[in-house]
Structure 1
Amino acid sequence: MELSIASLASNLLAPTILFFILGLIAAFARSDLSIPVGAAKIMSIYLLLAIGFKGGAAVAKSGIDAQLVASLGAGMVLSFILPFVAYVLLRNLTKLDAMNAAAVAGHYGSISIVTFVTAVSLLEARGISSEGYLVAVAAVMEVPAIISALWIAARSGGAAAIDSALIRHILGNGSIVLLVGSFVIGGLTGEAGLEDLHPFIVVPFTGVLALFLLDMGLSAGRSLMENRKDITAGLLVFGCIMPVIGSFFGLGMAALIGLSSGGAFLMMVLSASASYIAVPAAMRLALPEAKPGIYLSLALGVTFPFNLTLGMPLYFLMSGWV
């Protein structure tokens, strides 16, 4: 990949990213612009189905090999380790108590599937190939981070427990079920299945993503404004530094297992992102005394915009090192 200011600007000025910025601006301007909840839900279902199916079809074409298994293992290791890194940073950069720091840290070992989908879209727009099975890596990077966060909370005296209800909630998360299920279906039907669904899965994908990111920009901006009193300067710094640190971990893993530069970029994006769907739901169950206004606003209102506007262009440039 060419390392240049031009390539960075090209990423930042992608239509999908600009629609996200438009949503942010509208939220900060207190505009009444909104996307109906039902429409946003349908778009998220579509994006998960499309990215999962295309990933499964790519695996069917290339086959299962040792690198796929290594990538899954690398994803699980990253998901387990990164919350500990995040916790140490939080305790040094902020005044959060141990329980809230643990709750926040868990979000940074997990992933943002929307950030991942946007990254895949950017690669496709540039005609850059990547390992399709990284969709499966995204799916396995939810649970280890939650386990790490709850272990940290337990060691610090917080009331955290991993019980059967929590496990069922995590494994039954709709996003994970749809992503994994469509990945399996794509793998079973292969290129023929992708050809059948091409007009539905491939052609409208970028347009739907642009509209969905407009809604995400609105949500991120409004969440940040509603909870701005809880987001201190230290948390803002953490929300921008931790993704970059996570991306270096992802880059190291990508180099270790021999991913392509496109695959390295996606692994970095996974390691840099923060969950705002699965982990917040798990934290509400396991750590009800932790403040959602902090961990949700930080993941959605700080790290998500950072990754989409500045982070991904940076990771794209760094992935050329592989």
Structure 2
Amino acid sequence: MDPKLLLENLLNPPVLFFFLGILAVLLKSGLEMPDTLSKFFGMYLMFAIGFKGGFELAEAKFTSANFFTLIACSGMALLVPIYTFFILRLKLDVHNAAAIAATYGSVSAGTFVTAHAFLNNLHLEFDGFLVAGLALMESPAIIIGVAMDRIAKRNMGSEFSWKELLREAFLGGSIFLLVGSLIIGMLTGESGWNAEKPFADALFKGMLSFFLLDMGLVAAKKLKDLRTAGPFLVTFAVLVPLINASIGLGFAKVIGMTPPDAFMFMILCASASYIAVGAAMRTSVPEANPSLYLPMSLAVTFPFNVIIGIPLYWFVVQHYL
């Protein structure tokens, strides 16, 4: 990998704010992000990505490549939680294996927007259909993870509501806002984008910096919980994103994606959820230990992807696509 590319990514202001958040916790500075602002920054990013993606969809022509891209997104959303579940069952009980499999089968919008900023620095754009792919990949892993857990407990007579699970998976706040913004961007087209651009585009990088500052604070607080995860799960949290990104690259080559599209698709494949899955697992699989799946995604996979993964995946796309 080109050291210059890695350095440019590390010196990207939003990434530096991520390190600042980590440093604040390690030095016990007392810096805190109010919960309301944390939620607002996440909501803003979902709105901005969704709205811009919807505008790009309205302007784009639907092609066979777009169709196969969405099929590939669906395939990865189904494949990853299944194969990772059986790997995790080698060391873990069914509840924790199901929760972690769902975590790594779903996607991280935070990683996606950071990769988006990386492409912006290179003055490159990706296809708006990948925003639809982001929305498409978030929910199936949650359902599969809970299904794995329920299949294992089917003879225990425990009560469970599939209706509530499906509601959480498809109507959770972040996914609802993302899809809603995507649809509004499609319906309003160029006139809507021109009206919202000062807010949705000009402020994007600043909002992302605050979002990653908050993620740095949260990730650093989770570092101490990695003792619970152990070496097997820490290794899993690094290797599985690399495996999933490699599978994503294979799909991208078959479909014939452009380098920016292939890069963003690899990011989707390599990321792990820390918001939607966490909320769903707490209620649907309460036996799973949050001090395993949350630190793995937040304190290992997310920093790995932001610091090393993003420039690494771009390097691979440039040389092997």
| TM-score, scaled to structure 2 | 0.93
Deviation by residue 1:269-317 (Cα, 9 ceiling, x = unmatched): 1000111111122222221111111111211121111111111111111
Aligned to 1:210: 209
Paired residues of 1:24 and 1:217 also in contact (CA < 8 A): yes
Instruction: Give the number of aligned pairs.
Output: 317
C-alpha distance in 2 between matches for 1:156 and 1:115:
32
Paired residues of 2:50 and 2:178 also in contact (CA < 8 A):
yes
Q: Which residue number corresponds to residue 36 of structure 2?
A: 38
Matched, 1:229 2:227: yes
| CA contact 2:25–2:221 (8 Å) conserved in 1 | yes
Equivalent residue letter for 1:185: I
Structure 2 distance, partners of 1:151, 1:43, is: 32
- The answer to whether 1:245 aligns with 2:243 is yes
TM-score where L is the length of structure 1: 0.93
Q: Tell me, what secondary structure is at the counterpart of 1:184?
A: helix
Q: Which moved more, 1:277-286 or 1:118-127?
A: 277-286
User: Of 136, 139, 142, which aligns to 1:143?
Assistant: 139
Aligned to 1:257: 255
Matches for 1:47-196 after TM superposition, within 5 Å: 47-92=45-90, 95-157=91-153, 163-196=162-195
2:299 corresponds to 1:287: no
Moved more, 177-186 or 98-107: 98-107
Which residue, 293, 296, 304 being the options, matches 2:302? 304
Which whole-Å deviations, capped at 9, do the CAs of 1:151-192 have from their partners, x for residues lacking one? 333444477866111111212101011101111111112222
User: Structure 2 CA distance, aligned partners of 1:258 and 1:20?
Assistant: 34
CA contact (8 A) 1:8 1:317 kept: no
Q: Which runs of 5+ in 2 are unaligned?
A: none
The letter for the 2-side match of 1:272 is A
**Contact (CA 8 Å) 2:143, 2:169: kept in 1 or not?**
no
2:172 and 2:62 map into 1 onto residues whose CA distance is: 26
Once superposed, what is the RMSD of the aligned Cα atoms?
Answer: 1.8
Q: Is the contact made by 1:80 and 1:147 (CA closer than 8 Å) also made in structure 2?
A: no
Q: Distance in 2 between matches of 1:131 and 1:24?
A: 33
Q: Deviations over 1:68-97 (max 9, x none)?
A: 2222211111011011232243344xx322
- Corresponding position of 2:12: 14
Contact 1:89 1:238 in 2 (8 A): no
What is the rounded CA distance, in whole Å, between the counterparts of 2:245 and 2:52 in structure 1? 24
Aligned-residue identity in percent: 42
Q: Is the 8 A contact 2:98 2:145 kept in 1?
A: yes
SS at 1:275 equivalent? coil
Asked whether the 8 Å contact 1:12–1:313 carries over to 2, the reply is no
Paired AA for residue 98 in structure 2: A
